[in-house]
Amino acid sequence: MSDMDLLLWARGPGLQIALAICIFGMLLKLFEIFSLGRKPDLSVARPGNAAAGWITIFSRSLPNRTLLKRTFPTYLMGYTFHIGFFVALLFFAPHIQLFRKTVGLGWPALPSQLVDGVSLLTIVALLLMLAYRLYHPVKRFLSTFDDYASWALTLAPLLSGYLAFHHLLLPYTLMLAVHILSVELLLVFMPFTKLVHTMSLFVSRWYNGDALGHKGARL
């Protein structure tokens, strides 16, 4: 198989297979979450907290002041790579063209140089996060294979995309194929690793916020 054959397969059947597995896996996870049921709360609902679930989705996305002081590097690197990843994914012109072709939706792109700089910053943040995890004894003890696999699956599309954009390491066609395949690998494993939190975190935050608001807890 030539580099072009691999690229065409990655853009065509490979992408379709990865999307199908990702959608099936996400639906399966949602079914598992909602089929667990919710324990009946027989207490009287406290007034004024009807939107507690929705408020919690937003408020839990902001840094906790106490934890921010104690673990500032973790917060800084975490926010950097999360925001940087979505900037690279959603605001790079070729990615937007792919979204427009696949689902018919598009939006203005950011300058390529800006997205390139953000991508590099995101890669550095991910490398620092791994170094911190390996250095910190508690984090290292609590880390599992899932943590390292999720880290690698997140880094691979960013790194291969950066190398392809700058025509580094491999011929451009082959590196572009590797980049697309790394994205497909991320899609395939997303529902079955900790990366599933990209979807489930909103459900869990709403659930916890709604339950606490029902009891009158201060959010």
CA distance 124 to 66: 26
> Tens digit of pLDDT for each residue in 107-123?
999 999 999 999 999 99
Question: Domain boundaries in the chain?
Answer: 3-15+54-215
Which is more confidently placed, 159 or 46? 159
Q: Which single residue is written with the structure tokens 């906790």?
A: 64
CA distance 152 to 130: 10
Looking at residue 97, its pLDDT comes to 92
> Tens digit of pLDDT for each residue in 44-75?
666 666 677 777 777 777 777 777 777 777 88
Share the mean pLDDT of the chain.
Answer: 88
Matching CATH number, 3-15+54-215, of 1.20.1300, 1.20.950, 2.60.120, 3.40.50: 1.20.950
Find all residues with CB under 8 Å of 170, minimum gap 6, and list them: 163, 178
Q: Which pLDDT band holds residue 218 (cuts at 50, 70, 90)?
A: low
Asked whether 159 and 126 are in contact (CB, 8 A), the reply is: no
Burial bucket for residue 11 (CB in 10 Å: 0-12, 13-18, 19+): middle
Looking at residue 198, its pLDDT comes to 84
**Which of 219, 161, 138, 148 lies closest to 189 in space, CA to CA?**
148
- Averaged pLDDT, 24-52: 77
Burial bucket for residue 182 (CB in 10 Å: 0-12, 13-18, 19+): buried
What's the predicted TM-score (pTM) here?
A: 0.84
Asked whether 219 and 52 are in contact (CB, 8 A), the reply is: yes
Structure tokens at 32: 């598992």
Query: Residue 188 CB: number of other CB atoms within 10 A?
Result: 18
Task: Look at residue 139 and tell me whether its pLDDT is greater than 90.
Answer: no
- Averaged pLDDT, 157-167: 96
Asked whether 186 and 195 are in contact (CB, 8 A), the reply is: yes
Task: Look at residue 219 and tell me whether its pLDDT is greater than 70.
Answer: no
